[in-house]
Amino acid sequence: MKNSQLYKGSLTTIVMKLLEENGRMYGYEITQKVKEITKGELKITEGALYPALHKLEAEGVLEVEIENVDNRLRKYYKLTEKGTSETINRLAELEEFIRNMQSIVNPKLT
């Protein structure tokens, strides 16, 4: 992930936001979507994404559906009811963080 230290803490929120918008997604699709939205600026690595997805699944934030696609199994992730409300909270937290950072980095704009 580019600038990994800055983005690291926001990875799960990014994933949850994408799932909120797209319903259900699989791992590769998530990495490509992030790349597409950020025009290649932000690349989520496999080593960071899957442990994060498994953690969210274990916490009951995500649930999975497994399907047989093109000779292999594909694991789709989607938000649970708990996950949907958790996403709202985390996005609010992230927005507040961005606002605070904006005030510090560029006070003239606030």
Partner 1 sequence: MKATKENIQFIDTYLENSDVVYIDIRYEMIDHIATGVEEMMEKNNIDFYNAFKDYMVVHKKAILKNNKSRYNYSWDTIKQFLFFLVKPYQLTIALLLFVFYKSVDFNSYFNKDFTVNNLFFLLFISIALFQIGYFDFYLKKKFYSIESSVVIINVIYWFKIFFLPIFGRKNVSEVTLTIFSYLIIGYVIYFIQQLRKFNQKQFQLTQ
Return the DSSP state at 41.
S
In the bound state with partner 1, the residue whose beta carbon lies nearer, of 85 and 102, is: 85
Query: Least Å distance between CB 110 and partner 1?
Result: 36
In the bound state with partner 1, the residue whose beta carbon lies nearer, of 70 and 108, is: 70
Q: What is the three-class DSSP state of 2?
A: coil
- Pairing state between β 24-26 and 62-69: unpaired
108 — alpha (psi -120 to 50), left (phi > 0) or beta? alpha
In the bound state with partner 1, the residue whose beta carbon lies nearer, of 50 and 97, is: 50
Query: Least Å distance between CB 66 and partner 1?
Result: 4
State both tokens at 66: 């497994």
Which residues are near partner 1 by CB under 8 A?
26-28, 45-48, 50-51, 54-55, 58-59, 64-66, 68-75
